[in-house]
Homo-oligomer: A and B are copies of this chain.
């Protein structure tokens, strides 16, 4: 990887930072945030402004350019990558290290008195604006909105915003019509005495209208906003996608409907002016509900006294609880996904010893097997196919420069998933195609114990996921090992592979309580830098549990694994398992054999079936 040469670009940016054509007054610093106008985790090429100006294209990072400096804040996952991709114009600010200043503190330390700091108000989340603005103001500077994005003014070959056709999801997939979702949303609005609700997150728009898109890679979403009133529905969306007869019928655009379900389609870009009109027309005590992560521009469109901001929207919370049909879809998707992985691992077992399978070839093969399955749409994230030391890079993605050949001497870690029309998958298995060392088996077994501790945990209804995180670490901690990432994240239903508002992580406190129907991942790991990586990940469904005393009728919850892919028994040191843990593995493998076996049989995949049968032989624990 050679760094991007940014000298000329930075010169141009510094010119527009002073140009009266774009800024009312010159700005002495310009912030380039990571996200798009919807605070998406995955973004479209036209929104990769930070990568354009700096060369660094990791998923998280904020660039700040002043007249003298150019600095990039990113976290531990990306220190190496950012250092490789950026030229000497840039200073890397390693977040999480003790001596690294925050963006605000750094700005205060380098700016001349009374400076203006510019940022695109349609991209910066309102909560972040508030925090930065406060610190800057107290130091005598000003955070100012710059309406025209300054990167766009110098980005001559900036790609078009994608505007791809929509996919209509019928009731057999979604379980609830968009009309019923609107009714439920309006009832939540009425509860909080709110008269307008602004949908800004792309997956929330998609979920609400039972539509999917492909504007962003891996995330089946499309660029749109929605504004829901008690009697109005406005959908802000571009292109001729609304000309598609299937979409028109689905949204009943040409039917005579009760006025409160009539969707007004408006141009994507008109959201700001429309919202300003809404803001200007409010009567006293009328409130407008927005996510506190909505952009500063949209938030400001509503006068402060009328805003109702929450960290999680009612759509985010409703979307997280999957209904019976969504759950069934997720089950089907995971069965198909398991079939593909049985095929893959059977194939790898034969091919790896020949020394011709690289990380990239393995990832491509996994995609090939997945694409053979019904209703396959695309991958749900960039496949992490990593062997040996690459496995210790938690967010590794093989590229030609790092591509390593799989061998019988190294651990192989595959973290991959797909979007099927009936569900989203995300699974990690760690395999050895030769003979693992005692130490590798020991570490793998601790990770497995942690995985089981979460998966088999029983807890009262309403428990927040972060309270389960330590269960995943206890076995590792006992021997002085740990891993530096959370244990699980919410998973969408044919939607984003990472979604809120729940998860299992020591890093958060503001997650919503777990309830039956939520779907999260369970993925503890262990990473030995320069040597190997281990992770065992299942997607699990929150289900009611049966307990002796049932928490005084509060209700008991536990998890059911949706992922049904064998966990390599060769990697397990059975002597480290308790009888209960051993039974868990055997029960899990029995279920894999039954459910996935039947599907492999049905699809006529006999060799993969034989592999499955062999890999699901029960463990025997010698007392």
A527-553 residues with Cβ-Cβ distance < 8 A to B are: 547-551
A57 adjacent to chain B (CB < 8 Å): no
Task: Please give the number of chain A residues whose Cβ is less than 8 angstroms from any Cβ of chain B in the complex.
Answer: 29
CB distance from A394 to the nearest CB of B (A): 15
Q: Quick check: B470 and A549 within 8 Å, CB to CB?
A: no
CB distance from A132 to the nearest CB of B (A): 17
Q: Quick check: A550 and B509 within 8 Å, CB to CB?
A: no
CB distance from A577 to the nearest CB of B (A): 14
Convert A427-451 into 0s and 1s, putting 1 for each residue whose CB lies closer than 8 angstroms to a CB of B: 0000000000000000000000000
CB distance from A543 to the nearest CB of B (A): 15
Task: Name the one of B138, B458, B480 contacting A547, with C-beta atoms under 8 angstroms.
Answer: B480
Q: Quick check: A460 and B482 within 8 Å, CB to CB?
A: yes
A443-494 residues with Cβ-Cβ distance < 8 A to B are: 457-460, 467-471, 473-474, 477-482
A506 adjacent to chain B (CB < 8 Å): yes
Q: How far is the CA of A550 from the CA of B482 in the complex (A)?
A: 10
A399 adjacent to chain B (CB < 8 Å): no
Q: Quick check: B551 and A480 within 8 Å, CB to CB?
A: yes
Q: Quick check: B457 and A548 within 8 Å, CB to CB?
A: no
Q: Quick check: B470 and A550 within 8 Å, CB to CB?
A: no
Residue of A457, A470, A551 most packed against chain B (CB within 10 A): A470
Identity of the chain B residue whose Cβ is nearest the Cβ of A139 in the assembled complex: B305
Q: Quick check: B547 and A479 within 8 Å, CB to CB?
A: yes
Q: Quick check: B548 and A479 within 8 Å, CB to CB?
A: yes
Q: How far is the CA of A460 from the CA of B304 in the complex (A)?
A: 45
Convert A487-517 into 0s and 1s, putting 1 for each residue whose CB lies closer than 8 angstroms to a CB of B: 0000000000000000000100100000000
A556 adjacent to chain B (CB < 8 Å): yes
Q: How many monomers of this chain does the complex have?
A: 2
Q: How far is the CA of A14 from the CA of B474 in the complex (A)?
A: 58
Q: Quick check: B460 and A477 within 8 Å, CB to CB?
A: yes
Residue of A471, A478, A506, A548 most packed against chain B (CB within 10 A): A478
Task: Name the one of B459, B481, B506 contacting A467, with C-beta atoms under 8 angstroms.
Answer: B506
Identity of the chain B residue whose Cβ is nearest the Cβ of A468 in the assembled complex: B470
Q: How far is the CA of A463 from the CA of B469 in the complex (A)?
A: 12
A304 / chain B contacts, CB cutoff of 8 Å: 138
Q: How far is the CA of A471 from the CA of B453 in the complex (A)?
A: 11
Q: How far is the CA of A549 from the CA of B480 in the complex (A)?
A: 5
Identity of the chain B residue whose Cβ is nearest the Cβ of A526 in the assembled complex: B549
CB distance from A507 to the nearest CB of B (A): 10
A457 / chain B contacts, CB cutoff of 8 Å: 474, 477
Q: How far is the CA of A478 from the CA of B460 in the complex (A)?
A: 9
A460 / chain B contacts, CB cutoff of 8 Å: 477, 480, 482
Q: How far is the CA of A491 from the CA of B352 in the complex (A)?
A: 58
A547 / chain B contacts, CB cutoff of 8 Å: 477-480
Q: How far is the CA of A506 from the CA of B465 in the complex (A)?
A: 11
Q: How far is the CA of A459 from the CA of B457 in the complex (A)?
A: 20
CB distance from A150 to the nearest CB of B (A): 31
A481 / chain B contacts, CB cutoff of 8 Å: 549, 551
Q: How far is the CA of A482 from the CA of B553 in the complex (A)?
A: 12
A554 / chain B contacts, CB cutoff of 8 Å: 482
Q: Quick check: B477 and A474 within 8 Å, CB to CB?
A: no
Q: Quick check: B470 and A548 within 8 Å, CB to CB?
A: no
Q: How far is the CA of A549 from the CA of B470 in the complex (A)?
A: 18
Q: How far is the CA of A474 from the CA of B460 in the complex (A)?
A: 10
- Other contacts beyond A460-B477, A480-B547, A480-B551: 20, CB < 8 A: A138-B304, A138-B305, A457-B474, A457-B477, A458-B480, A459-B473, A460-B482, A467-B469, A468-B470, A470-B470, A470-B471, A477-B547, A477-B556, A478-B547, A479-B547, A480-B548, A480-B550, A480-B556, A482-B551, A509-B509
Please name 26 pairs of A and B residues whose Cβ atoms are closer than 8 Å in the assembled complex, sorted by A.
A138-B304, A138-B305, A457-B477, A459-B473, A460-B477, A460-B480, A460-B482, A467-B469, A467-B470, A467-B506, A468-B470, A470-B470, A470-B471, A471-B474, A477-B547, A477-B556, A478-B547, A479-B547, A479-B549, A480-B547, A480-B550, A480-B556, A481-B549, A481-B551, A482-B551, A509-B509
Listed from nearest, the 4 A-B pairs whose CB atoms lie closest are: A480-B547, A509-B509, A480-B549, A479-B548
